[in-house]
Amino acid sequence: MCGRIAQYRGIHDFVAVLSMPGALVNTVGDQPLDRYNVAPTTMAALLHQAEDGPHADLIRWGWRPHWAKDRASPVNARVEKVAHGPFFRAIWPHRAICPIDGWFEWVDEGEPKKQPYFIRRKDGAPCLCAAIGQLPDADEVHSEHDGFVIITADARGGMVDIHDRRPVVLAPELAREWLDPAAPKERAELMLMHQCEPSEAFEWFKVDRAVGNSRNQGAHLIKRMEP
């Protein structure tokens, strides 16, 4: 997963798919997000549970522990290591969902510049990506240390031709369970390893190379290129 996502629906559209119980504490706003080209280290909409119920917040995409000052903040975490490696140990218990409309990958097709592809669900539903992070709680203000990472797994099927990694996308009922603080850590790891949505649930197609510049925005960036 190269690290570029799209979040253009409104947060309530994402929450409706999740059917999250309880009143939403929403600091994102009610209007469509209209972000077709979200880059790492920028703010992205994130759903998580706090003591006072479900939250929708804008959180920095990327996180690193305080002791890893000699490296850039990763934006993704490999499912094979996230639950047991030391790097993400502090935030492994803090689960979240990054709801996206799709993500981008770049493929070397022999041209001077790599060809971008947009990947989304075939059924048009949002992609509910498993994430973990350092997140604000009910009685806390946002901190400069807040951040999150999207968990990734090996790509399978035809998606391997686009990239060897993909975000772990969960079905709505599993996403709700992932967000539940009462769900045991062992159960959370099982969901990541064995119950993510299959590659057959997605479609991918070429899009304009303008998406390579993160300053570019607009629906034209996810428009399918004609052959």
Which of 12-26, 31-45, 154-168 has the largest mean confidence?
31-45
Task: Reply yes or no on whether 80 is catalytic.
Answer: no
Q: How many domains does the chain have?
A: 1
Q: Tell me whether residue 31 is in a domain.
A: yes
Query: What CATH number is given to the structural domain containing 103?
Result: 3.90.1680.10
Q: Which domain holds residue 100?
A: 5-222
Task: Reply yes or no on whether 203 is catalytic.
Answer: no
Helix (H) or strand (E) holding 37, with range, is strand 35-38
Q: Tell me whether residue 162 is in a domain.
A: yes
Burial status of residue 149 (CB atoms within 10 A of its CB: 0-12, 13-18, 19 or more): buried
Q: Tokens for 22?
A: 């309880």
What is the average pLDDT value for the chain, to the nearest integer? 93
User: Which residue type occupies 97?
Assistant: I
Q: Tell me whether residue 27 is in a domain.
A: yes
Q: pTM of the entire structure? A: 0.95
Q: Tokens for 143?
A: 């901190």
User: Which residue type occupies 118?
Assistant: F
Give the integer Cα–Cα distance in Å for 187 and 190.
Answer: 5
Give the integer Cα–Cα distance in Å for 86 and 201.
Answer: 32
Q: Tell me whether residue 227 is in a domain.
A: no
Catalytic-role residue among 98, 105, 127, 197: 105
Name the phi and psi angles at 36, rounded to 5: -95, 0
Q: Tokens for 120?
A: 């989304």
Question: What pLDDT, in 10s, does the model give residues 66-88?
Answer: 898 888 899 999 999 999 989 99
Q: Tell me whether residue 145 is in a domain.
A: yes
Q: Tell me whether residue 43 is in a domain.
A: yes
Q: Tell me whether residue 41 is in a domain.
A: yes
